[in-house]
Amino acid sequence: MGNSQQLRFLHLGILSDLDGSTTNIRKAVQLTHNSHPTKLHRLSSLGINQQIRFNRLGELSDLDASIKNLGNAVKITDDVHQEQPINLLNLGNTL
């Protein structure tokens, strides 16, 4: 649901969609165990969502949260994992 809300925000610009997206993706991250294979995707989605929010509203707390979540995605991913270059790119783009 969170990803759909994010997509709708990107197309229509309705801030409540972005807020709902952040809330739902954050909850998905919290409910997913660190060893679950989808944890890194959910952390990345949350971090990217927070980056979009920062770009729209300019709130530094969103940028800080984005860096934290994208950094966590990097930390829980092995260097040889096929997604690690994408995780590093996402984190680098935020910095």
Domain segments of the chain as ranges: 2-94
Per-residue H/E/C for 68-86: HHHHHHHHCCCCCCCCHHH
DSSP for 27-39, written as a single string: HHHHHS-TTSTTH
Q: Note if the pTM is more than 0.85.
A: yes
> Which three-class secondary structure state does DSSP give residue 13?
coil
Question: What does the mean pLDDT of the chain come to?
Answer: 93
Count of CB atoms within 10 A of residue 52's CB? 18
Does residue 23 have a pLDDT over 90? yes
Buried b / exposed e over 61-70, threshold 16 CB at 10 Å, is ebbebbbebb
Closest C-alpha among 46, 45, 57, 48 to residue 13: 57
CATH number, domain 2-94: 1.25.40
Per residue in 44-85, pLDDT (tens digit) is: 999 999 999 999 999 999 999 999 999 999 998 888 788 888
Distance CA 21, CA 2 (A): 4
